[in-house]
Structure formats: structure tokens, C-alpha cells
Amino acid sequence: MLAPVQAMEPRMKQVLVIGIGAGNPEYITVQAINALNRVDVFFLLDKGEEKSDLARLRREILQRYVTAPKYRMVEVDDPPRGKTASGYREDVAAWRAKRLAIFAAMLADELKDGECGAFLVWGDPSLYDGTISILDDILAAGHVAFDFEVIPGISSVMALAARHRIALNRVGETVQITTGRRLAEGMPGGADNLVVMLDSAGAFRALQGEDFDIYWGAYLGTGAEVLRAGKLAALIDEIERLRAAGRAEHGWIMDTYLLRRPRSA
Ligand SMILES: C[S@@+](CC[C@H](N)C(=O)[O-])C[C@H]1O[C@@H](n2cnc3c(N)ncnc32)[C@H](O)[C@@H]1O
């Protein structure tokens, strides 16, 4: 007697969230390179003026590291985050809902069962990036079924420390990572070393009367990289000039800095 034919379960969609490093194509791990080579569909979300520069880096990474290209690309514009009268939290929630709908549609329509899709995340997916939480929300809502994996990359924070040849903490000290928006509300109490990201307004200006060392880096890992380190009060004007000049030249800027109180004698 013939064995009954087993009904084939459709194979699960696989999704990879791959950290690609924060600007230098060599800021990528061997694990990430192996992951890139498994991918059938790359989902690319780009925004505004950074778009062409970031897209160029992603293309370069794929050209360099994918040895037998078999992938498709699905490119979508990241919806801009609107500024409405309702306030920051509401604006972020509305923006996240739009992104969630876009991600869910891409995963449902563009990735076949059994295929592997990937999101290439700038730097490392664990820092100020919404990809993982959006995928969690899609799974929780039951919109689309998939398995997902996260592959770490070198974040701008690691790049900043390496380029300044520093450790983020001195012996036994804490390191805190925050945003320019939060710093503008006040220096967090108890922070020995404060890394500031996403500071479009230059929140460090408010600390000019205080004794801080700053380690600042813009366009880290790229050909346009700029670094400055020293006393905050002495560097504020120059850093503001460099930020304005960078924006004028490139149309966008990404900078990160470490603020640290000098060691007491
Ligand atoms: C949305 S967050 C993404 C962070 C990213 N996931 C990471 O691991 O670096 C963007 C912020 O990261 C920082 N950043 C990212 N790339 C950078 C770079 N190449 N140079 C300096 N800062 C960078 C900036 O503070 C920027 O505002």
C-alpha cells in the first residue's frame, strides 16, 4: 500500500534585520555578509535628502558582499514624520502606524512563502531604530506570519569611540545614551558619560557654562567624516559652524557625541 501523501505545509517566510554599520562599508560583520547572501528580497525604506547617499552605501554593500546576486529589491519611500499641533508623541504614533502598514503590505505582497526577506538597518538595529518593534507589532497583530532574526552591526556610537580612540567610560563609570530632544530637557542626573544621538537642534549649546569634554563626530565612517574633541565651551561655535557647513554641502547631517565631565583631581 502506498504511504499517504503528506500535505506540504507552506514554508514560513524568513525575515532578517541586518545591521550594516553606520557609514563605512567595512563596518559590517561576517555574520551580516553571510546573511546578505541568503536574501531573496531586500526591502529598502529611504527618506528625504539622505536618500541618495544612504542608497549608495547600501548598493555598495550589496555589490561588494553578495557573491551570487539572485535578489529582488523593493524600494519604498519612508513616510515623513509630520509635525502637527497634537504633539510629538501623537506624531510619532501616527508615523509608526503608517510605517507598520507599509511593512506589513511589503511582507504580505512581495515575499513568497519560504523566501528570505531583509531590512538593511543603518548602524545597529538595537539603537534608535524602529524595525524590530514594527516587526513585533505586525506579528502580534497577526497581519502576516514570518520568522525573524536580528544581525548586529557597528553602530555610530561604536564608530565614534573608535575614531576618537577612547573607551566610552572610565573605570567603573556609567554610560548613558540619549537623544538631543531629551538633553534639551536637562542633563540627566548621575550620568558620568552621556552619548547624544539624533540632535538636530544642537542641544549641547545649553551646557556651555559647564565643564564638559566633548567627543564629536559627523558622517562617521564616510569620506565626509569630521571629528572634534576638547572642552565643550571652546568647541561649541566651531561644531555649530561645521554642522551648518555639512548640512549645506550634503543636504543632511548625522552626528553623535559623547559628553563627559573631566576627572576630578
Ligand atoms: C535613527 S538613529 C540610528 C542609529 C543607528 N541605528 C546606529 O546604530 O548608529 C540616527 C542617529 O544616529 C547617529 N548616526 C548614525 N550614523 C552616524 C554617522 N555615520 N555619523 C554620526 N552619527 C551617526 C546620529 O546621531 C543620527 O541622528
- For the stretch 236-260, pLDDT in tens is 999 999 999 999 999 899 999 999 9
pLDDT at residue 159, rounded to an integer: 98
Centre of ligand 1 from the C-alpha of residue 29, in Å: 18
Measured in angstroms, how far is the CA atom of residue 47 from the centroid of ligand 1?
14
Rounded CA-CA distance 191/63 in Å is 42
Give the per-residue pLDDT at 79.
Answer: 81
Give the residue from 140, 65, 143, 78 showing the smallest Cα distance to 111. Answer: 143
Residue 8 is predicted with a pLDDT of 54
The three grid cell numbers given for residue 254, joined into one nine-digit string: 548625522
pLDDT of residue 95: 86
Find the mean pLDDT for residues 213-238.
97
Number of helices and strands in the chain (H, E) = 7, 10
Q: Which residue has the cell 565631565?
A: 261
Instruction: Report the pocket of ligand 1 as residue ranges, CB < 6 Å.
Output: 22-23, 122-124, 127-129, 155-156, 197-198, 217-221, 254-256
Chain Cα centroid distance, residue 170: 26
Q: What is the pLDDT of residues 2-16, one digit of tens each?
A: 555 555 556 899 999
pLDDT at 49 over 70: no
Nearest CA to ligand 1 atom 15: 156
The residue whose CB lies within 8 Å of the most ligand 1 atoms, and thus the one to mutate among 78, 122, 156, is 156
pLDDT on residue 2 = 58
